[in-house]
Structure 1
Amino acid sequence: MRTDSFPLNYFTNIFTPKRAFFNRHAIGWPTIVIVLIFLNALITIPVSLNFAQTDTIGVEQFYPEAFNLIDGEAAEGLSKIPVEEGRLLVEQSTLQTKTDGLVLIDQSDNPLIDSDVAVAFGPTEFTIREHAQPELKVRYTKDFSVESASVEEVKTELNRQWRVNNRVYIVAALTFLISFMTFTMLVVLTLGSALFLYFTKKSHLTSITTYKESVAIILYGLGLPTILALLYGLIQFDIIWMMTIQTTGLLIMLVLIYFKTQFNDKKDQSRVQEWTD
Structure 2
Amino acid sequence: MKIDKFPLTYFKNIWTPKRSFKGRHQLNWFQLIVVLLFLTSLLMVPVALNYAKMESYPIDESYPETFDLIDESVVAALQKTTIVNGMLQPQTEVNIETKNGNISIGSSEEQVKQKLEEKNALVFAKNEFYLKNEGVPISKVQYTKDVDLSNIQTIKEAKAELSRQWFIQNRGYVVGSLMLLVFSILFISTLFIVFGSAFFLYLTRKSSFSSIQTYKESLNVIENAMGLSTLVALVSAFIQFDIVVMLTIQSLGLVLMILMVFYQTKFNDKVSLENKKGILGGKVND
Q: TM-score by structure 1 length?
A: 0.93
Does the Cα contact within 8 Å between 1:85 and 1:142 map onto a contact in 2?
yes
Instruction: List aligned pairs for 1:91-110, cutoff 5 A.
Output: 91-109=91-109, 110=112
* Two-structure CA RMSD over aligned residues (Å): 1.8
| Separation in structure 2 between the aligned mates of residue 258 and residue 2 of structure 1, nearest angstrom | 29
Query: Shift of the alpha carbon at 1:2?
Result: 5.7
2:250 counterpart of 1:218: no
Unaligned runs of 5+ in 2: 278-282
Does the Cα contact within 8 Å between 1:52 and 1:167 map onto a contact in 2?
no
Tell me: CA distance 1:241–1:58, structure 2 relative to 1, closer, same or farther (3 Å).
same
> Residue 149 of structure 2: SS of its match in structure 1?
coil
Query: Shift of the alpha carbon at 1:61?
Result: 2.6
Instruction: List aligned pairs for 1:77-96, cutoff 5 A.
Output: 77-96=77-96
| Separation in structure 1 between the aligned mates of residue 189 and residue 89 of structure 2, nearest angstrom | 52
Unaligned runs of 5+ in 1: 273-277
Percent identity, aligned pairs only, is 39
> Residue 43 of structure 1: SS of its match in structure 2?
helix
Q: Which amino acid aligns with 2:270?
A: K
Tell me: CA distance 1:20–1:106, structure 2 relative to 1, closer, same or farther (3 Å).
same
| Separation in structure 2 between the aligned mates of residue 14 and residue 209 of structure 1, nearest angstrom | 21
Q: TM-score by structure 2 length?
A: 0.90
| Separation in structure 1 between the aligned mates of residue 96 and residue 57 of structure 2, nearest angstrom | 27
Instruction: List aligned pairs for 1:52-201, cutoff 5 A.
Output: 52-55=52-55, 57-109=57-109, 110-113=112-115, 114-150=117-153, 151-201=155-205
Query: Shift of the alpha carbon at 1:55?
Result: 4.9
> Residue 216 of structure 1: SS of its match in structure 2?
helix
Query: Shift of the alpha carbon at 1:152?
Result: 2.5
Structure 1 residues 84-129: Cα deviation after superposition (integer angstroms, max 9, x where no partner): 0111113232221023210011333544223111110111111111
Q: Which has the higher contact order (CA 8 A, sep 6+)?
A: 1
| Separation in structure 2 between the aligned mates of residue 9 and residue 88 of structure 1, nearest angstrom | 62
Query: Shift of the alpha carbon at 1:56?
Result: 6.3
1:37 corresponds to which residue?
Answer: 37
2:243 counterpart of 1:239: yes
